[in-house]
Amino acid sequence: MQAPAPVAAWAGAADPRRAITPDHLLRMTSGLDIGQSLTSGPLSMFDPSGQMLFVEPDMAAFAERAPVNAAPGEKWNYTDANTLLLSRIVRDQAGGDAASVHAFMHRELFDRLGMEHVTMELDASGTPIGSSHMLASARDWARLGMLYLNDGLVGGVRVLPQGWVDYSATQTRGSEMFGYGAGFWTHRGQGAAANWRVSNGMPADSFMALGNFGQYVVIVPSKRLVIVRLGSSHMPRGDMPMMTRWVADVVAAVSDR
């Protein structure tokens, strides 16, 4: 995760992007100048990351052409382009085409977890749209959450590297306004977002995946609990005040047993 990302377009000795690592991409600190995917409303369609998702046939190729506006690791900026670049790295490591990456996802993850009703959408180049386009049932999302609840183990077999879950939930420097880890939003840190969510009911050790319009997978290790919420919410911030109250109520109910 700390080695230079294997992106051929960045390999030139004078290219500042050659210093970008997979860790930078996963933590949203690559420094790439390619928009801000937390933009909402009509303006989101004018964001470069919006163009990438809705116009470009090869999304990662579009992302890799972006210049940098900060040194890698210096600036936090949530953009789907980082995740698309990681998705293409996975595709290339799995075999380089749609069929290979589809087989890899099922063999190494979905089938092991028993996720039977899941669809990962791909772009025209065969790269998974890993930033946002995975569709699954509530039980399948819960199975993914259970993988992280159980420290990356399934039936006693290690699927994720040891320490990966804590790495994922460790807050990224510079994300204090939002509380972001490595692929998950987290409450294991200090900052406006994490402090507000914890004070309103989210357990301090919890971390969560957020989808569009209010879908959540909340993982609470201290309570051995995974909470999945699906459905549409067009409230600001995906109706986070509702979600914090609901999580607090569920944790209280479990604690009272």
- Name residues whose C-beta falls within 8 Å of residue 105's C-beta, 6 or more positions apart in sequence: 94, 120, 128
Q: Tell me the C-alpha to C-alpha distance, in Å, between residue 208 and each of 83, 124, 165.
A: 17, 29, 12
Secondary structure string (H, E, C) spanning 42-61: HHHHHCHHHHHHHCCCCHHH
Q: Which of 97, 120, 135 is the last residue of a domain?
A: 135
In degrees, rounded to 5, the angle at the alpha carbon of residue 85 between the alpha carbons of residues 39 and 81 is 10
Same domain, 55 and 173: no
Output the pLDDT for position 4. 97
Output the pLDDT for position 47. 82
Q: Tell me the C-alpha to C-alpha distance, in Å, between residue 60 and each of 12, 23, 56, 227.
A: 18, 17, 9, 32
Q: With beta carbons less than 8 A apart as the criterion, state whether 168 and 207 touch.
A: yes
Same domain, 131 and 41: yes
Q: Which residues pair with 216 in a beta bridge?
A: 210, 229
Q: Is 136 helix (H, G, I), strand (E, B) or coil?
A: strand
Tell me the HSE value of 73 on the side-chain side, using a 13 A CA sphere: 9
Q: Which residues pair with 185 in a beta bridge?
A: 180, 208
Output the pLDDT for position 192. 92
Same domain, 2 and 101: yes
Mean pLDDT by 10 residues, the chain (257 residues): 96 96 98 80 68 93 96 95 97 97 96 96 96 94 98 96 97 95 96 94 96 90 96 75 94 87
Q: Which of 120, 135, 150 is the last residue of a domain?
A: 135
Q: Which residues pair with 157 in a beta bridge?
A: 154
Same domain, 122 and 153: no
- Report how far residue 60's alpha carbon sits from residue 222's, in angstroms, rounded to the nearest whole number: 37
Residue 215: CATH number of its domain = 3.40.710.10
Same domain, 105 and 164: no
Output the pLDDT for position 218. 98
Q: With beta carbons less than 8 A apart as the criterion, state whether 101 and 95 touch.
A: yes
Residue 29's nearest CA partner among 169, 182, 179, 178 is 182
Same domain, 246 and 148: yes
Q: Is the pTM of this model over 0.85?
A: yes
Same domain, 1 and 74: yes
Output the pLDDT for position 45. 58
Same domain, 1 and 121: yes
Give the range of the structural domain holding residue 226, as residue numbers without chain letter. Answer: 137-255
Number of helices (H), then strands (E), belonging to the chain: the values are: 10, 8
Same domain, 181 and 120: no
Domains in the chain, number: 2
Same domain, 27 and 92: yes
Q: Which of 79, 114, 135 is the last residue of a domain?
A: 135
Same domain, 146 and 238: yes
Phi, psi at 196, each rounded to 5°: -65, -45
